[in-house]
Amino acid sequence: MTGLLSSSLKQLKTVKARRNFFKGSVTIKAKRKDAVAKILSGPNTLYAAPDGLLFKDEALPKYDALPALQISSQNAGDILPQKIVKLFSELNEHKALGIKRIDLRLNPEQAHLLLTDGTTADMGSLDDVHAKLNALGVVLKSAKSRSLKAPYNINLNYFYDDKIYLTENQNG
C-alpha cells in the first residue's frame, strides 16, 4: 500500500503504514518532499525536489518564496539534470541576491536570472554556479556603492576571461 501511494503521489518523501489488529484500523503517515524551486511549464506549476524530481502539489504558502524557473514541456515525474538541481541549491544559499525568476535553456544548459529589483543576469553556462553567484553579489554591491541606479543588465558569459559586464537598464 505504501509503495502505491509513493508512486502515485510524487510529492511524498516517506509513507508509513501501521496496522492495529485489535482495533481493526490502519494508520498512514506521509511526509512531503521539500521543494527547492517552482517550475513554470506552460499552464502547469510543478515543484522540484532536491533530487531533481518534478512533482505536482497544491500551491502552499511556503512555496511562494521559492525561485521560479521557466522551462517548457516538463511533466510531473520528470527528473531535471544535476546541473540544474545544483543551481537550485546554490540559489538557496544566495537568497540575498533576491532572485525572482530563472529562465533556463536546456540545450545548451544556460541560465538567465531576473532579480526582484528588475536586474537581469545572464549566467552563461551552468558551470561554476557558486563562483558566478558570488561574483554577481560582488558586482551588485559595487554598483550600488558607486551610485549606479538599478535595475542593471549583468553579463557573466565572459566569466572565465575574468570579465563581467554591467550596464544600467534604461527600461527599468
Residues whose CB is less than 8 angstroms from the CB of residue 59 and which lie 6 or more positions away in sequence, other chains included = 45
* Range 38-168: architecture per CATH: 3-Layer(aba) Sandwich (3.40)
Q: Is 43's pLDDT higher than 90?
A: no
Distance from C-alpha of 107 to C-alpha of 54, rounded to nearest angstrom: 19
Half-sphere exposure of 12 (CA within 13 A, CB side): 14
pTM of the predicted protein model: 0.69
Is residue 109 exposed (0-12), middle (13-18) or buried (19+ Cβ within 10 Å)? middle
Domain positions in the chain are 1-32, 38-168
Give tens-digit pLDDT for 138-157: 999 999 899 888 899 999 99
Give tens-digit pLDDT for 17-41: 899 889 889 888 888 888 888 888 7
